[in-house]
Amino acid sequence: MQSITSVRPAIVREIDQLLQHVDETEFDQFCRSISVAKRISMYGLGREGLALRGFCMRLMHLGLDTHFAGDITAGPLSGGDLLIVTSGPGNLQMTRAMIDLGHRAGARVVVVSAHRDSPDPAAADEVLVIPAQTMATDAQATSVFPMGTIFEIVMGIVFDVAVLRLTEILGVDTGSMRARHTNLE
């Protein structure tokens, strides 16, 4: 029987190993691209999209003009704007269409993926690789978790570390972030 206690060491080890393989230069460029964008839109599917929505919210707390593509409050993109797309497997038709739309609008496009040499990252201006198991590679079952879960978990951690880095770049403190948090709870 699986329990938290029985899988905890393997989970911690796996997350640590994956975080060690996220390229610091790519990560820093990812944060800098966010910091200079006029407007940021994000697009991701499934559980990746859920992790990305949490990141979108935190960027709003940082005071950035950020939206999730497809939401009714998402405005248009143009030059100087940034589109962040997640594509764990790296070859999803819907994300590729969004990448193309972002480019046609004049925005820079960043793809967060586990597979650098796949079509979606190849179509981007920038790539942030999180080299974790996804549904595209789960037949090899290298992760404690099924399907693409470990990619989604580590992606969420990387996004939260990006928020920490962005507080430094933008000079934003927790108090001002808290002031932008909803008060309709």
Any domain includes 144: yes
Any domain includes 162: yes
Any domain includes 103: yes
pLDDT at 144: 61
Query: Which CATH number belongs to the domain containing residue 113 in this structure?
Result: 3.40.50.10490
Distance CA 132, CA 137 (A): 9
Any domain includes 32: no
Any domain includes 12: no
pLDDT at 12: 84
**pLDDT tens, N- to C-terminus, the chain (185 residues):** 678 788 787 878 878 888 999 999 999 999 999 999 999 999 999 888 999 999 999 999 999 999 999 899 898 999 999 999 999 888 899 999 999 999 999 999 999 998 999 999 999 999 999 987 676 665 566 766 656 677 888 999 999 999 999 999 999 999 888 888 888 88
Domain count, the chain: 1
Any domain includes 149: yes
Any domain includes 28: no
- Domain around 125: 37-69+79-176
pLDDT at 180: 87
Note whether 124 and 108 are within 8 A (CB).
Answer: no
Q: Please, which contacts does 130-133 make with residues 24 or more away whose CB atoms are closer than 8 Å?
A: 130/18, 130/22, 130/154, 130/155, 130/158, 131/18, 131/21, 131/22, 132/18, 132/88
Any domain includes 18: no
